[in-house]
Amino acid sequence: MSTSHDDGGDPDDRGDRGDRGDRSDRGLGPMRFSLLARDGAARRGRLAFPRGTVETPAFMPVGTYGTVKAMTPEDLVGVGTEIVLGNTFHLYLRPGLEVIAAHRGLHGFMHWQRPILTDSGGFQVWSLAEMRKITEQGAHFRSPVDGAPVFLSPEESMRIQRILAADVAMSFDECTPYPATEAQARSSMELSMRWAVRGFREYYRAEPPGTLFGIVQGGVHPHLRLASLAALEEVGFAGLAVGGLAVGESVAERDLVLDQLLPHMPTLKPRYLMGVGRPEDIIEAVRRGIDMFDCVMPTRHARNAHLFTRAGVINIRNAVHHSDTGPIEEGCACYTCLNYSRSYLRHLDKCGEILGAHLNTVHNLHFYQRLMREIRAAIEAARFEAYAAEFHALKALGSPR
C-alpha cells in the first residue's frame, strides 16, 4: 500500500530501528527531507533546499568540471533537471579554488542556481590506483593534469567542498575495490569510517554552506555494510549514500547488498546510490528503497551515439537510420524528438558536428528525467510494481537497432 505522511513520518514507525538516529532537523545544514508516500519499499519524497526542491526518486546529471557536457543550465532546466553533481577532485585541480571562490562558489561559477551535490573525490582517488598511496592521514597521488604531487585528506576534502559551497557535500572515503577479501573490505571500510568522523568535524566546525552525507562502505559483505551504517549513524549524518558499488560486481551481488542494507537504513533520511545509472538498475534500486542516483551513462552514451528509448538503446550510427525520417522515439516530447529525425542525427554524428552531441544529450537526459517522473507517479498511485513490470516487459519485447 502507498502511505502518505508529513515530515514526522508514520506514527506507527516511531521507535522502529529504521527511524533511529534521524537528525535531519538538528541544524546539520539547510536541507529538509520529506517522505511523501511509499509503495512497498519504494519511496516518494522531497528534498528542500534554499535554492529549490528536488523531487525523489531523483536522477542527478554529472557535471564533473562544472558543466554537464554539451548542455547549458537552461537546457538542463528544460529537460526537468532539479539537481546536478559536481566533482571536488577535478574542480580542485582545474580551475582551482581561487577561481571558484572569486565566483562565490560553484553555483556562480557554472551559472546554475538550483541545488548541487559535490562528490568528495574518493572515487577519483580510487581510480588512480597506479598513481596513489593511501595512509591513515589521507591519499597521496600525482595529479593526472600535470603530475604534481597532491595530498587529499578528509579535512582537505571538506575545506574544498566548503569553498565549492554545494547544497550537499559528500564524506571523503576510500572506495573499496572489487574484488576484495572480507579482511580487505573491513580494513577499507573502517578507514573510511575514521575519515568520516574527521570530515564531519571539519565540515561543521563553522556554519556549513550545505549538508554533509555519509557514505556506507563494506564491499559486497552485508555484515560490513551494517557495521558501516552503524558507525555513520553514530556520527549523525543527515543523509546517507551507498558507495563502493558499480565498480565491477555483478547485479546479483549489488542487489544482495541493497536487500540486506536498506531495511536497516533510517526511514527519514535520504538514501543515495552512487554511480548506478542503467534505467533497469534504477528501477530495481527504487524498488528496494533508494531515493537518489547519479551516473555519466546518459551523457556519455549520447556522445557515443547511443540513445535511450523505452524499448532499449539504439545506435544512431547504424545504417538502418540513414533515411529514417522519424524521431528517436515516437511519443517523446523532448526538443530533439519534436524537431529532428534519426536520419539527421546520424548525419551530424557521421560529420562530427557538435550539434549532434548536444541533441543526443538533450534526448537522453529528457528520457532519464521522464523515467523519474513516471516512477514518482507510480509510487504515488500505489502501482510501482505494475509500472516496473511494464517497463521490463516493453524492453524485453523491443528491438533496438
The catalytic site residues sit at: 119, 294
Q: Report the C-alpha gap between 239 and 10 in whole angstroms.
A: 19
The distance of Cα 366 from the centroid of its chain, to the nearest Å, equals 16
- Count Cα neighbours of 240 within 13 Å in the Cβ-side half-sphere: 31
User: In Å, how far from its chain's centre is CA 41?
Assistant: 19
**Interatomic CA distance for residues 67 and 366, integer angstroms:** 17
Q: 30 and 211 in contact (C-beta within 8 Å)? A: yes
For the four alpha carbons of 169, 171, 176 and 177, in that order, the dihedral sign comes to positive
Residue 313 in 3-state DSSP?
Answer: strand
Please give the Cα distance from 110 to 114 (Å, whole number).
11
CB of 128 within 8 A of CB of 143?
A: no
**Sign of the C-alpha dihedral, residues 369, 373, 375, 376?**
positive
3-state secondary structure of 2: strand
> CA-CA distance, 200 to 214, in Å (whole number)?
9
Taking phi over 0 as left and psi of -120 to 50 as alpha, with beta for the rest, 52 belongs to: left
**Gap between the Cα atoms of 61 and 80, Å rounded:** 11
CA angle 175, 34, 364 (to 5 degrees): 60
Q: Write a three-state SS string for 10-65.
A: CHHHCCCHHHCCCCCCCCCCCCEEEEEEEECCEEEEEEEECCEEEEECEEEEEECC
DSSP 206: S
